[in-house]
Amino acid sequence: MRIDIVSIFPEYLRPLELSLIGRAAGSGGPLQLQVHDLRDWTDDPHRTVDDSPAGGGAGMVMRPDIWGRALDDVLGAPAPPTDSTPDQPHRTVLAIPTPSGMPLTQRTVEDLATADHLVIACGRYEGIDARVAEHYSERMETIEFSLGDYVLNGGEVAALALVEAVARLLPGVVGNPESLEEESHGAAGLLEYPVYTRPIQWRGHEVPEVLLGGHHARIARWRRDRALERTAARRPDLLAALAPEQVYPDDRGTLAPLGWGVTATGPVPLRVRPARPDDAARLSSVASATFPLACPPELDAEAIAEFIAAHLTRERFEEYLADSERYLVLAGEMGGEIAGYTLSVLPRSAGEAPYAADVAEVVGERPAAELSKIYVLPEYHGSGLARTLLTETLRVLGGVRIEGEPLAVVWLGTNARNRRAQKFYAAAGFERRGRRTFQVGGREMNDAVWARPPLESAPRAVAD
Ligand code: ADE
């Protein structure tokens, strides 16, 4: 590849003689690099390259006639012979750094690394007369790029950055091409995990133990989790842009506590919050859509409809939401829309027994709250939402005080034959206590009763 840089400060680009880029640009290397002084194309004794802005205003603008002469010459310079074919002809790109350009990304850099000839035009002052970019973009591939949302004094630093980013992708420049794969902005779409070396102890900070154990699968998982965490904290835009196939099933457990659920379209923000009175209609529709799916197959549609009409209407939710001493309703949002909820029933007094005698028998601790519903729309099953709803509910219940006493236990009943549910509660630390019978639309159902203490948390108002 050939790179030409045109600048009024050619000395500024001397660092390109150093390090890997310098070596790549040495004789026999994959890069031919030439830096040119724009003033060589001036024709007055003062070697003037700028003039005052048309229309007035501060600063000076670089003249198009000088740039035109310089670029015509440099673009016409012979680039290294390539095996160009009619399908892939010789490719020359003019790159103009400017704060008003498109943000430079690794994708652009990867694309530019396939060109044969790259010419970089470094502006100074208020920039280059706009007709220069206009003229060349009509005749050849031209990009105006920005390093970021800040203003530099000129394009030279951006040119250095571009050359370094492009040149390291040329074959033979970076010693170990594997190091290109997992790096930030690579194919994974995530920021890179943190890296460490010896000494293992340094100023009270240790290299994470997992990296010293030699267990490759564990190290890979740890690195992936750190990459997800970093990306969630620093570049949520990158997480949101991940394609579904870039997210692995094992990522869900890491992403959910970071506030991200995984859907068919990729990651979306996941949030659990106390439900508000104006959520009643949406909660009712989520409940009505999910309840039938949790019912055993022998339950007929009429019985299910009867239950929904009695317990899962908007009016019933309005009642729940109006009585925060009795009910705790948490809404689970995916991408800003309620996709699941939990409904917990609190005792009105510390000694109040669970309403069903068969439950009271196997759940003896008091005060006892019932986790009555935890429902997630089917399209969000496996997204991490149910898990986060459950954890957050147990945490909020941990802060509840009944007559000054913290809850001793949270219990729930779930269809004894729903294996998925049983596994889910067992994994969340619930213990199976026994059975209870439960009426749905006049039919008697057999439920397993599970219980566990709430998660410890500071006392807090349920409705905050
Ligand atoms: N020239 C001045 N500021 C710049 C920026 N942010 N990116 C590229 N070129 C520039």
For ligand 1, whether the C-beta of 158 sits within 6 Å is yes
Sequence-distant (6+) residues with CB within 8 A of 336 are 269
**From CA 370, how far away is CA 395, in angstroms rounded?**
14
- Considering only CA atoms, give the Rg of the chain: 32
**From CA 88, how far away is CA 74, in angstroms rounded?**
22
For ligand 1, whether the C-beta of 7 sits within 6 Å is no
User: How many angstroms does the Cα of residue 132 sit away from the middle of ligand 1?
Assistant: 17
For ligand 1, atom 5, which residue shows the shortest CA distance? Answer: 99
- Say if strands 117-121 and 2-7 run parallel, antiparallel, or are unpaired: parallel
For ligand 1, atom 10, which residue shows the shortest CA distance? Answer: 98
For ligand 1, whether the C-beta of 74 sits within 6 Å is no
List the alpha helices (DSSP H) in 312-347. 314-322
Question: What six digits make up the tokens of 278?
Answer: 């104006």
Phi/psi at 297 (5° precision): -60, -25
**Ligand 1 atom at minimal distance to the Cα of residue 123:** 1
* pLDDT top residue among 232 and 463: 232
C-alpha angle 20-23-26 in degrees, rounded to nearest 5: 155
For ligand 1, whether the C-beta of 149 sits within 6 Å is no
For ligand 1, whether the C-beta of 97 sits within 6 Å is yes
For ligand 1, atom 4, which residue shows the shortest CA distance? Answer: 99
Phi/psi at 450 (5° precision): -120, 150
For ligand 1, whether the C-beta of 127 sits within 6 Å is no
For ligand 1, whether the C-beta of 106 sits within 6 Å is no
**From CA 244, how far away is CA 13, in angstroms rounded?**
42
Q: Is 337 helix (H, G, I), strand (E, B) or coil?
A: strand
The residue type found at 378 is P
* pLDDT reading at 86 higher than 80: no
Cis amide prior to 367 (ω within 30 degrees): yes
pLDDT digits (tens, 9 = 90+) for 418-428: 898 999 999 99
Buried b (16+ CB within 10 A) or exposed e, 338-353: bbbbbbbbbbeebebe
User: How many angstroms does the Cα of residue 79 sit away from the middle of ligand 1?
Assistant: 27
Phi/psi at 319 (5° precision): -65, -45
Mean pLDDT of the 189-195 span: 96
User: How many angstroms does the Cα of residue 152 sit away from the middle of ligand 1?
Assistant: 5
* C-alpha closest to that of 266 among 305, 231, 304, 311: 231
pLDDT band at 198 (very low <50, low <70, confident <90, very high): very high
Q: Is 357 helix (H, G, I), strand (E, B) or coil?
A: helix
pLDDT digits (tens, 9 = 90+) for 453-464: 999 987 755 444
Of all residues in the chain, the percent with pLDDT exceeding 70 is 98
* pLDDT top residue among 327 and 456: 327
Mean pLDDT of the 78-87 span: 72
For ligand 1, whether the C-beta of 148 sits within 6 Å is yes
User: How many angstroms does the Cα of residue 98 sit away from the middle of ligand 1?
Assistant: 4
Residue 157 DSSP code: H
Mean pLDDT of the 87-100 span: 93
**From CA 58, how far away is CA 45, in angstroms rounded?**
25
**Residues 207 and 200: beta-carbon distance below 8 Å:** yes
**From CA 246, how far away is CA 243, in angstroms rounded?**
5
* pLDDT reading at 260 higher than 70: yes
User: How many angstroms does the Cα of residue 151 sit away from the middle of ligand 1?
Assistant: 5
What is the model's pLDDT at position 462? 46
User: How many angstroms does the Cα of residue 420 sit away from the middle of ligand 1?
Assistant: 55
User: How many angstroms does the Cα of residue 105 sit away from the middle of ligand 1?
Assistant: 14
Quote the mean pLDDT of the chain: 94
**Residues 258 and 229: beta-carbon distance below 8 Å:** yes
**Residues 276 and 320: beta-carbon distance below 8 Å:** no
Of all residues in the chain, the percent with pLDDT exceeding 90 is 83
What is the model's pLDDT at position 298? 81
pLDDT digits (tens, 9 = 90+) for 21-45: 888 888 888 999 999 999 999 999 9
pLDDT band at 82 (very low <50, low <70, confident <90, very high): low
| Probe residue for ligand 1, chosen from 9, 12, 98 as the CB with the greatest number of ligand atoms within 8 Å | 98
Mean pLDDT of the 166-172 span: 93
pLDDT band at 83 (very low <50, low <70, confident <90, very high): low
| Probe residue for ligand 1, chosen from 151, 153, 160, 162 as the CB with the greatest number of ligand atoms within 8 Å | 151
What is the model's pLDDT at position 182? 75
115 C-beta neighbours (distance < 10 Å), count: 20
